[in-house]
């Protein structure tokens, strides 16, 4: 199989640079000004591609579709869109230039069942106006701290809308805007090869001081907190009450990630320094690592990061059918992969970022290639390689615009384990109440004492 990097279409610039230990400089004001002209506020190319199959960005979704009320599962704003073409194992060669090696591998692994229904491209990503302005400000002032393991002089939204390195690009994914606080009831499942599954229910809260509307870089640097995350298992009964608390830091050289767990058997809170990197994810059946959550999270210090440029790629997008409360988990979860009839793919431009494990550093994954949507900085696809340089896992994030915020975010993350022929689907919410982006949370909700109370409920 050809290396996918040989077919990357460079649409704006070719960058192959591994970051040194010095801080990366902010862009000059003249370059930052492009975020109000030829580039979108997030640094995407504003115009259409050459053949018009990727249209011009005109602001994304600016209002909810008729009939939607806050609290509902989000209605599909494009219900009349038709499938333009279908990719199967029999015609995949025709479309290889628009696919990653991992996506191609899925056709080889499941030739009789895996397919892609491709629809017209809708550049639906949108954000509040104050977020756009904050990102323009970030472009002209934000820097990486020494080694790239943190940032300074940034607040609200992506810190590097005009990235110059792979590290800057992956920080953009980590800090993309998802509102100021979120509560959600969702879950995950890891079907067996036959398709049987146990639903793992999760109650999660996320507090994002970094994204508060009036957040200032100075205050953020003083507290050194980017976000706080709390998760409790609600079902099945044998796991219910197990809980996790994470404080993610802005400068991870100054203070690494802090984490605590609550174990129902021991009925006590313990520090959890190993909740990071390639430690197994919560109740994941060994099918994802801790730093796979949200497609990638945590300190980037175990990899060398290279920004390869941009490519046109078929990625999951506007997956409102996967998000619908008219669909049951059993409709989604099938042997080998999720139900392809419920998945919508579109052609978008993506940033390509390659992460290679540093020498004398340990991780289950030797190489990871991230394909990041230019309009949102959401990692859309990731190809993951093992220490034999073979494809190990393929992750895909199925994004929608949560237009009540608005923000573009994944409704379901799926990691396919090529070697075991299994997968894990994270974020299943069809049979639960919808995310709440309006609930006011405070620091007291994210202490070890609060974790103990949460676990005992």
pLDDT in tens, 403-429: 999 999 999 999 999 999 999 999 999
Residue 8 banded pLDDT, cuts 50, 70, 90: very low
DSSP string, 263-283: ETTTTEEEE-TTSSTTSBPTT
From first CA to last CA, the distance across the chain in angstroms is 52
- Return the top range by mean pLDDT from 24-28, 72-76, 144-148, 297-301: 72-76
Asked whether the CA dihedral 10, 11, 17, 18 is positive or negative, the reply is: negative
In the predicted structure, residue 457 carries a pLDDT above the cut 60: no
Residue 214, judged by CB atoms within 10 A of its CB (0-12, 13-18, 19+), counts as: exposed
In the predicted structure, residue 91 carries a pLDDT above the cut 60: yes
**Lookup: tokens for 308:** 């390869």
Greater confidence (3 vs 198) lies with 198
* Residue 259: closest CA among 267, 250, 5, 248: 248
Q: What is the pTM of this model?
A: 0.93
Residue 30, judged by CB atoms within 10 A of its CB (0-12, 13-18, 19+), counts as: exposed
Residue 254 banded pLDDT, cuts 50, 70, 90: confident
In the predicted structure, residue 1 carries a pLDDT above the cut 80: no
pLDDT mean across residues, the chain? 92
Lowest-pLDDT choice from 58-67, 122-131, 444-453: 444-453
The answer to whether 191 and 422 are in contact (CB under 8 A) is: yes
**Residue recorded with tokens 């669909």:** 327
In the predicted structure, residue 22 carries a pLDDT above the cut 60: no
- If you ran DSSP here, which 8-state letter would residue 401 be given? E
In the predicted structure, residue 452 carries a pLDDT above the cut 90: no
The percent of residues in the chain predicted with pLDDT above 90, rounded, is: 86
> Coil, strand or helix: which one is 207?
strand
The answer to whether 393 and 415 are in contact (CB under 8 A) is: yes
In the predicted structure, residue 82 carries a pLDDT above the cut 50: yes
In the predicted structure, residue 23 carries a pLDDT above the cut 90: no
In the predicted structure, residue 267 carries a pLDDT above the cut 60: yes
Mean pLDDT of the region 142-157: 92
Residue 13, pLDDT score: 42
Residue 369 banded pLDDT, cuts 50, 70, 90: very high
Report pLDDT digits (tens) over 385-405: 999 999 999 999 999 999 999
């Amino acid at each position: 199989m050809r290396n996918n990097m040989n077919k990357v279409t460079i649409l704006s610039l070719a960058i192959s640079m591994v970051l040194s230990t010095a801080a990366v400089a902010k862009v000059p004001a003249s370059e930052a000004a492009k975020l109000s002209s030829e580039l979108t506020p997030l640094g995407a190319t504003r115009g259409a591609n050459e053949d018009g199959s990727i249209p011009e960005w005109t602001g994304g979704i600016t209002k909810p579709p008729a009939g939607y009320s806050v609290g509902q599962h989000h209605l599909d704003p494009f219900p009349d869109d038709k499938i333009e073409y279908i990719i199967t194992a029999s015609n995949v060669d025709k479309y290889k230039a628009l696919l990653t090696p991992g996506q191609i591998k899925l056709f080889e692994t499941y030739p009789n069942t895996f397919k892609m229904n491709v629809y017209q491209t809708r550049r639906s990503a949108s954000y509040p106006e104050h977020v756009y302005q904050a990102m323009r400000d970030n472009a002209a002032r934000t820097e990486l701290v020494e080694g790239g393991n943190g940032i300074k002089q940034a607040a609200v939204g992506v810190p590097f809308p005009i990235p110059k390195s792979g590290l800057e690009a992956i920080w953009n994914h980590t800090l993309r805007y998802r509102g100021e606080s979120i509560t959600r009831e969702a879950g995950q499942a890891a079907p067996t090869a036959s398709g049987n599954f146990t639903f793992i229910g999760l109650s999660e809260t996320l507090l994002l001081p970094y994204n508060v509307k009036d957040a200032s870089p100075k205050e953020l640097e003083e507290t050194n907190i980017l976000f706080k995350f709390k998760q409790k298992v609600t079902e099945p009964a044998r796991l219910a009450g197990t809980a996790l608390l994470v404080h993610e830091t802005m400068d991870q050289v100054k203070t690494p990630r802090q984490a605590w767990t609550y174990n129902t058997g021991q009925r006590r809170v313990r520090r959890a320094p190993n909740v990071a990197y390639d430690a197994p994810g919560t109740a994941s059946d060994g099918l994802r690592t801790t730093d796979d959550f949200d497609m990638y999270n945590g300190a980037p210090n175990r990899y060398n990061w290279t920004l390869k440029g941009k490519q046109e790629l078929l990625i999951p997008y506007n997956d409102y059918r996967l998000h619908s409360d008219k669909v049951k988990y059993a409709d989604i979860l099938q042997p080998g992969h999720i139900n392809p009839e419920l998945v919508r793919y579109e052609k978008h431009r993506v940033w390509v970022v390659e992460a290679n494990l540093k020498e004398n550093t340990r991780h289950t994954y030797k190489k990871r290639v991230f394909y990041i949507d230019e309009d949102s900085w959401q990692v859309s696809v990731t190809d993951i390689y093992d220490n034999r340089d073979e494809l190990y896992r393929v992750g895909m994030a199925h994004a929608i615009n949560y237009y009540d915020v608005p923000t573009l975010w994944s409704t379901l993350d799926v990691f396919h384990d090529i070697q075991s022929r299994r997968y894990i689907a994270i974020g299943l919410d069809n049979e639960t109440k919808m995310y709440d982006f309006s609930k006011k949370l405070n620091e007291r909700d994210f202490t070890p004492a609060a974790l103990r109370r949460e676990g005992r409920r």
